[in-house]
């Protein structure tokens, strides 16, 4: 049943921004490389149910998830039955049968899983669509070199049950030039594995790049790139952004990627507070003068962190206004003393643009390379997502 009442906030997804980002990414595709849209972590907080159909319409036909439960959601929300779904991580043996039945592609990085997949496929009378993950230097998951020959030989012998879709690895850390040699070595190792594979089997798609490697190393695109953060309009790191802007001689401060997500709420209440009074819990904020305060029905339960106490910003009437006092579980208090025409019900932007200003995801905490990823995926799945 549809809830009768609106939630205190909602997230808007800008389809035109996604279309822009896909165009930008496709323009950089070497030799027609296929792009897989990475939608793990609830589509990086954008909401898989709203994002996936929008991304299908915008041109994606391949989606990468982390686990079987995410694959199940992807299948539920896709509109095109030919849209492919690939599990890059967790799939239990008892979930393999379902994946094979549904035609879901999945990574294999252990012999035991490969054997189980072949056995289940044989029983089901349907091929398992697999991607063999190669250990190239990340040392997380992947087949070690000493097992490659046996691996490819097994796949060849069981070709009746195994549909080999890909040979893959992950160029992790490509967002920093500090990892340049590590990535070079990973590429060498991947090419070596591919050469070994070719002795046994027809070469399937090879894939290794995520957003950073895709944007910074065009020569390492191979046949498919798994694009997460960039499709949502964020750069994998500041370094990737600067490298791109310099190498393409683009104007400093401009940005070819457009943010897809905007998080909005509204003013719940307004109050005049006299100078010398404390605002909110404890003595966290002392009004130094007469102030006008807006209460916004957002708090740490919605992902607005307590670290933004006395330091975060929101946008109201196109102006940047500061959080004063503690971030509560469900409420924040905002200094709107400088806004002349502010009123109850006015739109409040927590992340995104309003007027000429923007609250970035990065402003939600200390600057670290992976901040965008973490903040986005922490946005609660209960906030409604609306495609605009």
Ligand X SMILES: Cc1ncc(COP(=O)(O)O)c(C=O)c1O
Calpha distance 89→201 (Å, rounded): 24
Which CB, 323 or 375, lies closer to ligand X?
Answer: 375
Q: What is the DSSP string of 358-382?
A: EE-GGGGSS--TTHHHHHHHHS-TT
Residue whose structure tokens are 């997230």: 11
Q: What is the DSSP letter of 286?
A: B
CB closer to ligand X out of 204 and 228: 228
Binding region for ligand X (CB under 6 A) out of 45-53, 114-122, 206-214, 257-265 = 206-214
Query: CB–CB of 49/72 below 8 Å?
Result: no
Query: What is the three-state SS of 156-177?
Result: HHCCCCEEEEEEECCCCCCCCH
210 binds ligand X (CB under 6 A): yes
Task: Give 324 or 379: the residue with its C-beta nearer to ligand X.
Answer: 379
- 170 or 302, CB closer to ligand X? 170
Least distance to ligand X, CB of residue 245, Å: 18
Q: Which helix (H) or strand (E) holds 227?
A: strand 224-227
- Residue closer to ligand X (CB basis): 47 or 280: 47
Question: Is residue 53 a contact partner of residue 90, using CB atoms and an 8 Å limit?
Answer: no
Instruction: Give 89 or 322: the residue with its C-beta nearer to ligand X.
Output: 89
Contact segment (CB under 6 A) with ligand X among 6-14, 71-79, 158-166, 225-233 equals 225-233
Smallest gap from Cβ 334 to ligand X, in A, equals: 32
Q: How far, in Å, CA of 108 to CA of 142, rounded?
A: 8
Distance, CA of 87 to CA of 94 (rounded, Å): 15
Please report the DSSP string for 61-79 in residue order: -EEEEEEHHHHHHHHHH-S
By CB under 6 A, residue 211 contacts ligand X: yes
Under rule CB under 6 A, how many of the chain's residues touch ligand X?
12
User: Measured from the CB of residue 210, what is the shortest distance to ligand X in angstroms?
Assistant: 3
Say if residues 213 and 23 touch (Cβ distance below 8 Å): no
How near is the Cβ of 115 to ligand X at its closest, in Å? 23
Shortest approach of ligand X to residue 144 CB, angstroms? 18
* Alpha-carbon distances of 290 from 278, 280, 337, 338, 339, rounded to whole Å: 11, 15, 8, 11, 14
Q: Which residue has the tokens 């957003």?
A: 211
Stretch binding ligand X (CB under 6 A), from 180-188, 227-235, 312-320, 327-335: 227-235
Which one of the spans 109-117, 224-232, 293-301, 312-320 is the region binding ligand X (CB under 6 A)? 224-232
At a CB cut-off of 8 Å and minimum separation 6, what does 87 contact?
65, 66, 67, 68, 70, 71, 99, 104, 105, 106, 107
Options 47, 137, 166, 228; binder of ligand X; rule CB under 6 A: 228
CB 227, min distance to ligand X, A: 5
Cβ closer to ligand X: 185 or 311?
A: 185
Segment 141 to 200, residues that bind ligand X, using CB under 6 A: 170
Site of tokens 């944007």 = 215
String of contacts with ligand X for each residue 38-77, x by CB under 6 A: x---------------------------------------
Choose the stretch contacting ligand X; rule: CB under 6 A; options: 11-19, 198-206, 229-237, 353-361. 229-237
Q: Give min distance, CB of 208 to ligand X, in A.
A: 9
How far from chain centre, in Å, is Cα 110? 26
Residues that bind ligand X (CB under 6 A): 38, 88, 170, 210-212, 226-230, 236
């Amino acid at each position: 049943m549809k809830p009768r009442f609106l939630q205190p906030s909602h997230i808007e997804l800008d389809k035109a921004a996604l279309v822009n980002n896909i165009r930008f990414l496709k323009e950089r595709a070497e030799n027609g490389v296929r792009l897989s849209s990475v939608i793990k972590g609830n589509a990086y907080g954008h909401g898989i149910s709203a994002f996936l159909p929008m991304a299908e319409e915008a041109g994606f036909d391949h989606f990468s998830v982390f686990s079987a439960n995410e694959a199940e959601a992807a299948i539920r929300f896709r509109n095109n039955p030919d849209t492919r779904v690939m599990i890059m991580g967790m799939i239990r043996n008892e979930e393999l049968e379902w994946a094979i039945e549904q035609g879901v592609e999945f990574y294999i990085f252990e012999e035991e899983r490969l054997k189980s997949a072949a056995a289940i496929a044989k029983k089901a009378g349907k091929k398992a669509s697999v991607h063999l993950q190669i250990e190239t230097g990340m040392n997380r998951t992947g087949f070690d070199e000493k097992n490659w020959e046996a691996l490819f030989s097994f796949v060849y012998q069981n070709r009746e049950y195994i549909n080999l879709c890909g040979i893959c690895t992950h160029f992790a850390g490509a967002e920093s030039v500090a990892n340049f040699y590590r990535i070079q070595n990973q590429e060498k190792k991947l090419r070596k594995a591919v050469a070994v594979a070719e002795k046994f089997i027809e070469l399937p798609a090879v894939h290794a790049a995520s957003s950073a490697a895709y944007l910074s190393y065009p020569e390492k695109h191979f046949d498919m790139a798994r694009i997460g953060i960039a499709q949502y309009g964020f750069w994998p790191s500041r370094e990737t952004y600067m490298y791109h802007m310099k190498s393409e001689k683009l104007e400093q401060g401009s940005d070819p990627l457009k943010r897809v997500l905007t998080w909005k709420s509204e003013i719940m209440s307004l109050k005049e507070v006299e100078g010398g009074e404390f605002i909110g819990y404890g003595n966290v904020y002392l009004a130094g003068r007469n102030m006008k305060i807006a209460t916004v029905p957002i708090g740490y339960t919605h992902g607005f962190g307590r670290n933004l106490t006395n330091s975060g910003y929101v946008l109201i009437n196109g102006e940047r206004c500061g959080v004063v006092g503690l971030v509560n579980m469900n409420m924040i208090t905002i200094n709107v003393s400088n806004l002349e025409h502010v009123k109850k019900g006015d739109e409040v932007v927590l992340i995104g643009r309003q007027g000429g200003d923007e609250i970035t995801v990065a402003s939600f905490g200390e600057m670290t390379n992976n901040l965008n990823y973490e903040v986005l995926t922490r946005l609660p799945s209960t906030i409604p997502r609306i495609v605009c």
